[in-house]
Structure 1
Amino acid sequence: MSTTLIVVGLGLAGAAYVGRLALQTGKLVSQNAHKIPKPSFSSYYKGGFEPKMSKREAALILGVSPSTSRTKLREAHRRIMLLNHPDRGGSPYIAAKINEAKDYMESQSKKSM
């Protein structure tokens, strides 16, 4: 009889611990949910890619203005790569074009300095 009470007590304590852990994990997930970038498909780049990258195309791919600052360029690149990275199910071709656009924009900003 006392063994049964001990086993039931341990079972309840274990269930309470797992429930508390689940609640804490749920709170952490909901607190960090706003940090994950949301895809916005309202202003995505429509059309194919040009054979040679231009400043206009690079700016359209990254979603920035052609005369944007270096920090905004890097933020835009990071945001888009988080959504399109091949390790997360994105296309390697699209990721290559995003990287090419960033490199092109950075090289153009170096030339204008």
Structure 2
Amino acid sequence: MRAVPGMSQKMSETVKSLSQLDSSSFANSKYYKGGFEPKMTRREASLILGISPTASKTKVKEAHKRIMALNHPDRGGSPLLAAKINEAKDLLESGKS
């Protein structure tokens, strides 16, 4: 601390400014904030697969294959995420809301 005399002052100001941030500060983040909805919607399914809610069945299958390869339980992925990925594919392929 002796080598950089103003460092402790700057650190305390930075910590204070970070503590004043709230969740609305991250509203424009590219990541979806929140958990899973009780009943999956087309919007949630499209967010899970990373495609448009009106994507074709071919795009749904391609996106499912790509996402599932990264999250499959046999390769260290979560069984819950794999189930949600499959549910999203089924919902978007069926065309129901």
TM range (shorter): 0.5 to 0.7
For 2:77 and 2:39, locate their aligned partners in 1 and report how far apart those are by CA, in whole Å.
22
For 2:32 and 2:67, locate their aligned partners in 1 and report how far apart those are by CA, in whole Å.
12
Residues 25-56 of structure 1, C-alpha deviations (whole Å, 9 max, x = no match): xxxxxxxxxxxxxxxxx955432000001000
Determine which structure has more spread, i.e. the larger CA radius of gyration. 1
> Does structure 2 retain, via aligned residues, the 8 Å contact 1:45–1:61?
no
1:71 and 2:58 matched:
yes
In structure 2, give the amino acid aligned to 1:98.
I
Percent of aligned pairs sharing the same letter: 75
User: Structure 1-normalised TM-score?
Assistant: 0.56
User: Structure 2-normalised TM-score?
Assistant: 0.65
For 2:80 and 2:37, locate their aligned partners in 1 and report how far apart those are by CA, in whole Å.
14
SS at match of 2:53: coil
Query: Which residue of the partner structure matches residue 75 of structure 2?
Result: 88
> Which stretches in structure 2 are left out of the alignment for 5+ residues?
1-28
Query: Which residue of the partner structure matches residue 50 of structure 1?
Result: 37
1:59 and 2:23 matched:
no
Return the structure number with greater relative CO, CA threshold 8 A, min gap 6: 2
Structure 1 residue ranges (4+ consecutive) displaced by more than 6 angstroms after TM superposition: none
> Which stretches in structure 1 are left out of the alignment for 5+ residues?
1-41
Q: What is the aligned length? A: 68
How do 1:17-28 residues align onto structure 2 when only pairs under 5 Å count? none
Hey, which of these two has a bigger chunk of helix by percent?
1
For 1:71 and 1:88, locate their aligned partners in 2 and report how far apart those are by CA, in whole Å.
25
